[in-house]
Amino acid sequence: MLCGRLTIVEWCYFLSVADGEGSATNWEEGVRPVVWRPPVEPSPAEQAVIKAVRRAKLFVFLRQHRHELFDEQFQAELAETYADSPKGQPPVPPARLALATILQAYAKVSDDEVIEATVMDRRWQLVLDCMGAEAPPFSKGTLVGFRKRLIGQDLDRRLIERTVELAARTRGFGARALRAALDSSPLQWAG
């Protein structure tokens, strides 16, 4: 894991689509977020964490359903909150930041605690696809900037609604409990 940058897998994906037709990223147009495609099937390390989780089942639910929650269409909506930039690194995939935002609201933790949890808590690593990370997969500033974009485009409510709807449809987590927890933690007041 590279500190505050793309993982090797994300970088390889970025390079493979940088010149492709219809790609999320094209060097001539500017730097845009990549579509996040974490593995669907849990690794052996992830399976061990899933098995060990006794409480906080939201982590397991999000790990098992993140690919459904963040389909390519919704990821494209999230990516549109970023302006094209002719230079710099591609932004952290918005789907990863959105998952961190959901966990932050649910756990009622500060931005600093989110960054710490990505390195210190295997449950957060499970959801964010950064098992064994020694450095955070994104910075506090990246998280804060993403949250501002999310709220500015009214995608925060859409994110909550999609998450609650998925919980209700799959019965993988209590939809009412999830709505109550997320609705009682307004995303704009995180800090």
Those residues with Cβ within 8 angstroms of residue 120's Cβ, 6 or more apart along the chain or in another chain? none
C-alpha distance from residue 46 to each of 61, 90, 118, 131, 146 (Å): 13, 27, 14, 8, 26
Compute how many other C-beta atoms are within 10 angstroms of the C-beta atom of residue 99: 24
- The better pLDDT of the pair 65, 185 is held by 65
In this structure, the number of other CB atoms found within 10 A of the CB of residue 132 comes to 9
pLDDT band with cut points at 50, 70 and 90 for residue 191: low
- Structure tokens belonging to residue 107: 């756990």
Q: 12 pLDDT band (50/70/90 cuts)? A: very low
> What is the DSSP track for 54-79?
-S-THHHHHHHHHHHHT-HHHHHHHH
Residue pLDDT, tens place only, 31-63 = 678 899 999 999 999 999 999 998 889 999 999
| Residue 138 identity (one-letter amino acid) | F
Q: What is the pLDDT of residue 13?
A: 42
Distance, in Å, from the CA atom of 101 to the CA atom of 135, rounded to the nearest integer, reads 18
State yes or no: pLDDT of 160 exceeds 50.
yes
Instruction: Give the C-alpha separation, 128 to 59, whole Å.
Output: 10
Q: Where are the alpha helices (DSSP H) in 108-139?
A: 111-120, 122-128
Which pLDDT tens digit goes with each residue over 101-156? 999 999 999 999 999 999 999 999 999 999 999 999 999 999 999 999 999 999 99
Of all residues in the chain, what percent carry a pLDDT higher than 90? Answer: 62
pLDDT at 34: 83
Question: So where are the chain's domains?
Answer: 8-189
pTM of the model: 0.80
Q: Which of 20-24, 44-48, 111-115, 159-163 has the lowest mean pLDDT?
A: 20-24
173: pLDDT strictly greater than 90: no
Strands (E), the chain: none
